[in-house]
Amino acid sequence: MGTHISRPAADLRPNAPRTQPPLGPACKADPESWSLDHGGLPDWLRAIRICVTGCPLVQQCWEARNRLYPNEHPVGVIWAGTAYTDTGEPLLTQQALVEYASDGNCRRRQRRTVAA
Ligand code: SF4
């Protein structure tokens, strides 16, 4: 005896609306969330999680990153689930991300103080 898989009746209608395929990777729709110049720790953790657990292109993305940066790292971005500092250092642990976010907040506060 097989398991009956039920589908919503709407799926079976010839003119039923189709679910729209995604328009592309989340980083394309919201590039600022993948930039370490913007946002902060919660945004970066969210972007990394989307790369690693929600992006069907992560393998191709990682291969592209390795092809484009064979001997160095990208700068100031989250790429294929890895965050890179403004000097291209990969932030491989959550603690490293926390420290970088904290340093960035200090620098932003200093810039605001100097500008005032
Ligand atoms: S894995 Fe690559 S393409 Fe996918 S969301 Fe992350 S950075 Fe974008």
Nearest CA to ligand 1 atom 6: 51
pLDDT given at position 35: 94
Domain boundaries, the chain: 26-115
Distance of alpha carbon 76 from alpha carbon 91, whole angstroms:
11
Q: How do residues 91-103 score in pLDDT, each as one tens digit?
A: 999 999 999 999 8
Q: What pLDDT shows up at residue 83?
A: 96
- Which residues have CB under 8 Å from 65's CB, separation 6+? 74, 79, 80
Q: pTM for this one?
A: 0.74
Interval between CA 98 and ligand 1 midpoint (Å) = 21
Give the residue, out of 51, 60, 62, with the most ligand 1 atoms within 8 A of its beta carbon, to mutate for a pocket test: 51
Centroid of ligand 1 to alpha carbon of 76 (angstroms)? 15
Establish whether residue 83 lines the binding site of ligand 1, counting it when its CB lies within 6 angstroms of any ligand atom: no
Q: What is the largest CA-CA distance in the chain?
A: 75
Pocket test residue of 43, 45, 58 for ligand 1, highest count of atoms within 8 A of CB: 58
Q: What is the structure's pLDDT at 7? A: 37
Does residue 27's CB lie within 6 angstroms of at least one atom of ligand 1?
A: yes
Q: Name the stretches of the chain with pLDDT < 50.
A: 1-12
Distance CA 31, CA 15 (A): 35
